[in-house]
Structure 1
Amino acid sequence: MNSMIDEDNELPVYTPAGVERFSPNSGKRYYTPVVEQSLKPVEGTIFKHTDDAYSLYTKYARAAGFSVRKSTQIVTHGVLTIKYFVCSKEGFRNVVLGHALDNDGKRKVVRKKPSKRTGCLAGIRLRLLKDNTFELYEFVEEHNHGLVHQDDIHLLTAYRGLSYTQKKFIRGLSNINLGPVKAFNIMKELYGGYDKVGATKSDVKNYKNEVNLAIGDNDAAMFVSRLLSKKEFLPNFFCEYDTKSDGTLKCVFWADEDHKRNFFSFGDVVGFDATYRTNGVGMIFVPFTAIDNHNRNVTIAGALIDSETTETYKWLLTRFKLAFSYEPMVVVTDQDPAVMKVVDEVFTNSRHRLCMWHVMQKVTAKVGSNLCNRTDFKKKLGDIVWADNITPETFEAEWKKIMTEFELTDHEWLLRIFELRHIWIPSYYMDENMSGIMRTTSRSESENHYFGKFCNPKCTLVEFLSHFDTAMECQRYEHRKNDHETRYTSHEMLTDYILEEQAAQIYTQLIFVKDVQVEIDASIRKCMSDGSEMVNDFRIFRIKDYEQPCYSFFQVKFRKDDVTASCSCLRFEQYGLLCRHIFNVLRFSDVLEFPKQYILRRWTREAVPNGNNLPMVGVNGVAESDIQVDTVVREIMFSAEYVVNKLVTDMEKLCSFRDHMKEYMSTVDSTQKIVPEPTRKDRFAIYAGYDKTTTATVRRPVGIRFKGCGSGKRMKSQREKAIIQSGKRDRRCTGCHSTGHDIRNCDVVILKRKHAANAGTNAGTSEENYQHSIDVQEI
């Protein structure tokens, strides 16, 4: 390939903006801006204040292609008399001779940054007059550097920055766990290009870092302050926290009015489980979860703790009782010993159950993957654990058979969970009310996954609270949407039984379609009566269920006078919903009205009154004026969007609206002064709603270690070691630059030392110098 450039096809050369002048004496080039005459500063102009001059010169600089910096000022007897505004390339960067060393004598690694300074002399100079005004007495127009074209003016640092609305947008995306890079890319799409954003990706990342830096050690104090402000402004908001003797945040529990309402409606069965890595402090998040009338998880409280000790959980559950005044019917937890002890101690009126999913998840880790993956052990165990209809006697017999078959009769962990069978195997508590709600899947694990979408392990506690509020807002919106779909949509009936239509008007859509309708349909298509007999006031029906084994018959006791019914499958007792066997008897007995005593409010459409969702905006302790500004800004944006949507098909009117907006923008530019950026403290207060940085009484916890986090020194297999080693750079000898050894046992260095000794070199000095060189390299 020819490396020569054809003279007729020369590569384009970048030409700076402005009129170029070449000085033959110095050999340098100078540039004069090309701007409208009305924008140029004029010597002799009088200004009431230096800010007016700065505003004028900044507008001129932007049109010319450079940026401005405030420079020299002279103050006499406390009065400003001289002020310079100069080109940002004025002066030269200070050069530090030598190398900076740290405390250990090592050379500091300093990032190399290019200099923007060229010693430019362009600028304006102001002096104070006797009437306390300022005169522009000197204007240097010419620059010793090229000026920036308007297409690239947005890249100059002075004209880059995030606006109020952009910062709000970034914070809003942060609340849904979208970081600064994604926020920048989204803004690019909104504004129509990266150059239209007005900031760079680094600016967005720096803003996020600046916020975190401003929060700093005040994180815990701000977090508690925002919760306490909610307690002040929101009705029935409950919040309590505890600290260690040195003021370090230990644990905090909170629940708002919606949480309490959900507990009163759905708090018959409550589960809670520790969730890790939801914040950068390392505090353990403990959400309390129930199940709503759409069979969806609903959060009824939140908590953060610094340790999983008996003392901490006792404090937590005691605050739960204080917040809600009574205990749940059933409490579902994992096998944590501290939790198991405290639940039985604090919730004296509750039934404590272990989550079946958590227990079964540990089987593979406890008995070994070979046994679980290469045999049918886990399948056989699951068949008796997850069985809907199995007696305790049958379970124990089958368990013993499985343990014997796979030679696990002496397995310590299996023996321990077998001893606890009465609190996690359903057959031991099938007759208990609502005992089956949380047993089929891990509700706690689902809740942890849900919050994982909104939180991240690097966020501050303040951010975590915003993420939690966003998660609650999303959860409540989904509940409201499910309520709406229940009220305004309907499903096709599967049978001609009148109770099916009545049930469709009683239960929520999901409960009806996924459960009640299925049971009513199965009562007709899959169930048959095998006779009945009278026993006292009840008629006992034998119902054959064709989805069950051929030997299965279910007994239904029924009294028609008051429509009292019960079934041996105990489905109503476990779930609060009638089974197919009872529906079969009701249909056979010509019951034409859904029995009210078997309608649990928790599954109905009106379990929670509509329109009671709490506002999640404006309760974080932010000043009232900032809330008002946010409200007005939203109204302006919605109004502009509304007009655009209406006029998008009428280009003439759309252009007229655009021209009107641009005209108003010009009016604002001509009348508004350039207001200095708020200080870091002010920005910090606006974002966090907390500015008492000097009076923080709650300290940020550090060094939190939760259960299962490990020591980082676990045993590794040879395969894992090989994978890790393959990703590392080989260590090189600093003497010969080869791999596989270091300078202390390098053959080349040893040989050189021998030659030096044979040549009569002072061996002691050589050895001393050599040892010194080794010590320096090892530092």
Structure 2
Amino acid sequence: MDYETPSTSHVDNQSPVDDIVQNTDLNIPECPIELKPYVGRSFPTLDNTIELYENYGRRVGFDTRKNGSKKVDDITLWFYMVCNREDRGYVIQHFKEEHNHPMVDVQHHKFMRLNRQLEPVHQKFISDCAGANIGPSLTFKLLTELMGGYESVGCTVLDIRNYTRDIRRYAEGCDAQMIIDELKKKKENCDAFTYEYEVDSRSRLNHLFWCDPIAKMNFLQFGDIVSFDTTYSTNRWCMWHIMAKVAEKVPKSLLGNNDFKKDLNSCVWSELIEPTEFEDRWKNVMETYDLVGSEWFVSMFESRRYWVPAYFRDFPNIDAQRNYSAKLDYMDYNTTAKLKTEWSIEKHASTIFTDGAFKEIQEQIMEAYNHCSLVSISNDSSIEVYKVLDHFSNTWSVTLSVEDSVCVCGCKMFLRTALVCCHIFLVLKNKKYRLIPEYLIGGRWLKSSLLKAVHGVQNSDVATHVYVDEKKKAQAILLGEMLGLYQAVCVDIDQIHELTSIVREARQQIFADGVVTSTAQKKKIMEEFYGAEAPQEVDVQPPEVVSTKGSGSRLPSRVEKALKLKNKAMRQCKKCQEWGHHDSRNCDKFKEKEKMRSRRNSDV
């Protein structure tokens, strides 16, 4: 905005607007008084008022348009109508240049509020970083790199932190409903998408399940395993952290008992026992060490309520997992396994199993070759029973059905992991098998092409039912093009200036009136973050928050333990109220006080 400083001699009541009005030809239309609007005239409704002004314009010869209004609780407080050819713009009527304080130093301009506006580019970048779990401090560092330094970043870490807080608050109280609405939308766009949910008596979300077509195909292939992440958003809710708290929970008399530690660890850490056997062992430990009825093990092993993440973007990153799986498929067909024996079974395994699974199987084959031995062999009609001794000094029974080559080991490794154990491999080696029997191949660890052949499922069948967000796809393409251009010209300053000029011209063509940073724009960016709009009505309430992160007590350090022992050795005397290593029965200070008091009494 250009303006001139008004001279001090301009002190009359005439304003610059009056000057403009006086220098402009004015036309006052002729109109009957009954059709002319006038100040103070009232109407029963707003529509009647608008109708009058429009009839007035029709009669005298000008078009009308709405120029603004204000509503409070659906009641219009004022409504502004003008001629369609009304000039737009503003005129400075007064300007005072003097300040009663010094100006901010140039080096500190970047901290001024006017220079710390979160433009849409900042807001979108902050929301993207928040979606990738990047905190405000690191987001600020990235912005300084992208925007050309601290002088150009246009905000502070506090601004970023406050905006991130606003993003989180946007879904507060309606996050569960947003999840359900998003799942409904996916179902509408993809018939093969499935979701189910349950609420409690207070309409709080209790259970939630969803599954897309690719997940269904994976379940057909690997349906014997279902994994739940029960450690989501917790600090140490796993077996290792639970066992680390044993020292805090058990009676101190058991802390130095090696038999207790051995029995407890053999019960908890063993993966070879069945649930019923675990319960028996656990009960035996509780009875042996007089822990029946104690609440310490109940609180350590109690199950937590399933907590649905507050934000839809916090669901497991399935795309990343599937991309990693595709990379493993690539490795399977472009990596040549290094064989360690001349046994044909090892070569057979390298051709059918994934690279990771083959390495596990290869270790079992080497165990069978170098550390396992046959203790005995017995025959029972068509069943052969082998006793195998491993390097842990454990003896396992392996049964082999001669008719169908079904081999079962007592260690149950194949049942748990679908990988053949060293005990079975020793039996196969003794029987001179050249290939792994079909029963022991399974399907979980086969290379992807073999999986498709076995189950008759084609990727093309699934791809047609996968929901694709066209908007996000277009965004990714655009961002890729922009980053590619930036990387291509960043080494040549002339090309940088040329590309900058082109981008500014394109920006001017798209945003003729400039990019407006408004509440609506901010709301759109937040909706983009969640992929959904905050619902007007909430039928499904968020689940109750279970406090787990940081709720447990940590193990004290050596220094803290030493201080605790020192403080424990010192006690507070109940007579003199001082801390020391004496008790009230032998308090010399108390005795001295008593003598002084008795002397004062005798003097009196």
Superposition TM-score, scaled by structure 1 size: 0.50
The one of 500, 514, 520 equivalent to 2:346 is 500
Partner of 1:253: 209
Partner of 2:117: 161
Partner of 2:441: 599
CA deviation vs aligned residue, 1:346-387 (integer Å, no higher than 9, x gap): xxxxxxxxx988996786565335513554421243246655
Change (3 A) 1:209 1:569: closer
The one of 468, 474, 480 equivalent to 1:638 is 480
| Residues 233 and 549, structure 2, Cα contact 8 Å, conserved in 1 | no
| Residues 480 and 610, structure 1, Cα contact 8 Å, conserved in 2 | no
* Alpha-carbon distance, 1:504 to partner: 1.5
| Residues 222 and 462, structure 1, Cα contact 8 Å, conserved in 2 | no
Change (3 A) 1:271 1:618: closer
CA deviation vs aligned residue, 1:202-228 (integer Å, no higher than 9, x gap): 332332333344444443332321222
Q: How many Å separate the matches in 1 of 2:168 and 2:275?
A: 56
Name the Cα RMSD after superposition: 5.5
Q: How many Å separate the matches in 2 of 1:149 and 1:241?
A: 59
Q: How many Å separate the matches in 2 of 1:508 and 1:171?
A: 38
Q: Secondary structure at the match of 1:210?
A: helix
Change (3 A) 1:360 1:258: farther
Change (3 A) 1:184 1:519: same
Matched, 1:412 2:293: yes
Q: How many Å separate the matches in 2 of 1:518 and 1:509?
A: 13
Partner of 2:98: 144
Question: For residue 513 of structure 1, what is the amino acid of its counterpart?
Answer: K
| Residues 349 and 358, structure 2, Cα contact 8 Å, conserved in 1 | yes
CA deviation vs aligned residue, 1:253-275 (integer Å, no higher than 9, x gap): 33333443343333324455755
* Alpha-carbon distance, 1:466 to partner: 0.7
| Residues 222 and 443, structure 2, Cα contact 8 Å, conserved in 1 | no
Q: How many Å separate the matches in 1 of 2:230 and 2:413?
A: 30
CA deviation vs aligned residue, 1:259-310 (integer Å, no higher than 9, x gap): 43343333324455755757xxxxxxxxxxxxxxxxxxxxxxxxxxxxxxxx
Matched, 1:133 2:14: no
* Alpha-carbon distance, 1:495 to partner: 0.9
Q: Secondary structure at the match of 1:602?
A: coil
Q: How many Å separate the matches in 2 of 1:215 and 1:396?
A: 43
- The aligned runs of 1:334-345 (5 Å cut-off) are none
Partner of 1:526: 371
Change (3 A) 1:554 1:210: closer
* Alpha-carbon distance, 1:638 to partner: 1.9
Change (3 A) 1:567 1:633: closer
| Residues 332 and 447, structure 2, Cα contact 8 Å, conserved in 1 | yes
| Larger strand share, 1 or 2 | 1
Change (3 A) 1:707 1:199: closer
Question: For residue 482 of structure 1, what is the amino acid of its counterpart?
Answer: L
| Residues 519 and 583, structure 1, Cα contact 8 Å, conserved in 2 | yes
* Alpha-carbon distance, 1:150 to partner: 8.3
Change (3 A) 1:170 1:644: closer
Matched, 1:584 2:426: yes
Q: How many Å separate the matches in 2 of 1:400 and 1:245?
A: 36
Question: For residue 293 of structure 2, what is the amino acid of its counterpart?
Answer: E
Query: What percent identity do the matched residue pairs reach?
Result: 24
Q: How many Å separate the matches in 2 of 1:655 and 1:225?
A: 50
Q: How many Å separate the matches in 2 of 1:266 and 1:605?
A: 13
Larger RCO, structure (CA 8 Å, separation 6 or more): 2
Change (3 A) 1:605 1:82: closer
* Alpha-carbon distance, 1:523 to partner: 1.6
Q: How many Å separate the matches in 1 of 2:403 and 2:216?
A: 39
- The aligned runs of 1:135-534 (5 Å cut-off) are 143-145=97-99, 157-158=113-114, 160-243=116-199, 247-270=203-226, 272=228, 364=247, 367-368=250-251, 370-373=253-256, 375-383=258-266, 386=269, 408-409=289-290, 411-412=292-293, 464-469=311-316, 471-514=317-360, 516-530=361-375, 532=377, 534=379
| Residues 332 and 354, structure 2, Cα contact 8 Å, conserved in 1 | yes
Count residues in correspondence: 480
- The aligned runs of 1:35-54 (5 Å cut-off) are none
Q: How many Å separate the matches in 2 of 1:618 and 1:162?
A: 33
Q: How many Å separate the matches in 1 of 2:281 and 2:531?
A: 61
Q: How many Å separate the matches in 1 of 2:262 and 2:537?
A: 60
Which has more radius of gyration? Answer: 2
Change (3 A) 1:133 1:618: farther
* Alpha-carbon distance, 1:390 to partner: 8.4
Change (3 A) 1:410 1:189: closer
* Alpha-carbon distance, 1:186 to partner: 2.1
Question: For residue 392 of structure 2, what is the amino acid of its counterpart?
Answer: Q
Q: How many Å separate the matches in 1 of 2:167 and 2:275?
A: 58
CA deviation vs aligned residue, 1:425-460 (integer Å, no higher than 9, x gap): xxxxxxxxxxxxxxxxx9x99xx9xx9xxxxx9xxx
In structure 2, the gaps of 5 or more residues are 9-18, 22-52, 55-63, 69-81, 554-559, 565-604
Q: How many Å separate the matches in 1 of 2:218 and 2:309?
A: 25
* Alpha-carbon distance, 1:174 to partner: 1.5
| Residues 382 and 403, structure 2, Cα contact 8 Å, conserved in 1 | no
Change (3 A) 1:581 1:257: same
Change (3 A) 1:586 1:131: closer
Question: For residue 430 of structure 2, what is the amino acid of its counterpart?
Answer: F
Q: How many Å separate the matches in 2 of 1:482 and 1:369?
A: 49
Matched, 1:676 2:559: no
* Alpha-carbon distance, 1:512 to partner: 1.8
Q: How many Å separate the matches in 1 of 2:202 and 2:329?
A: 48
Question: For residue 506 of structure 1, what is the amino acid of its counterpart?
Answer: I
* Alpha-carbon distance, 1:520 to partner: 1.0
Q: Secondary structure at the match of 2:161?
A: helix
Change (3 A) 1:577 1:222: closer
Partner of 1:319: none
* Alpha-carbon distance, 1:497 to partner: 0.7
Change (3 A) 1:219 1:144: farther
Change (3 A) 1:473 1:369: farther
Change (3 A) 1:673 1:147: farther
Q: Secondary structure at the match of 1:195?
A: coil
* Alpha-carbon distance, 1:176 to partner: 2.7
Q: How many Å separate the matches in 2 of 1:274 and 1:394?
A: 24
CA deviation vs aligned residue, 1:315-362 (integer Å, no higher than 9, x gap): xxxxxxxxxxxxxxxxxxx9xxxxxxxxxxxxxxxxxxxx98899678
| Residues 366 and 413, structure 1, Cα contact 8 Å, conserved in 2 | no
| Residues 44 and 136, structure 1, Cα contact 8 Å, conserved in 2 | no
- Of the structure 1 ranges 138-147 and 476-485, higher mean CA displacement relative to structure 2 is found in 138-147
Change (3 A) 1:710 1:614: farther
In structure 1, the gaps of 5 or more residues are 1-17, 24-42, 46-76, 84-127, 279-333, 335-354, 418-441, 452-456, 713-718, 724-779
Q: Secondary structure at the match of 2:192?
A: coil
Q: How many Å separate the matches in 1 of 2:272 and 2:172?
A: 56
Q: How many Å separate the matches in 2 of 1:604 and 1:165?
A: 47
* Alpha-carbon distance, 1:542 to partner: 4.5
| Residues 170 and 534, structure 2, Cα contact 8 Å, conserved in 1 | no
Change (3 A) 1:130 1:80: closer
- Of the structure 1 ranges 596-605 and 226-235, higher mean CA displacement relative to structure 2 is found in 226-235
Q: How many Å separate the matches in 1 of 2:169 and 2:396?
A: 66
Q: Secondary structure at the match of 1:601?
A: coil
Partner of 1:115: none
Partner of 2:26: none
* Alpha-carbon distance, 1:513 to partner: 1.0
Question: For residue 209 of structure 1, what is the amino acid of its counterpart?
Answer: R
Q: How many Å separate the matches in 2 of 1:147 and 1:81?
A: 42
The one of 652, 665, 684 equivalent to 2:504 is 665
Q: Secondary structure at the match of 2:349?
A: helix
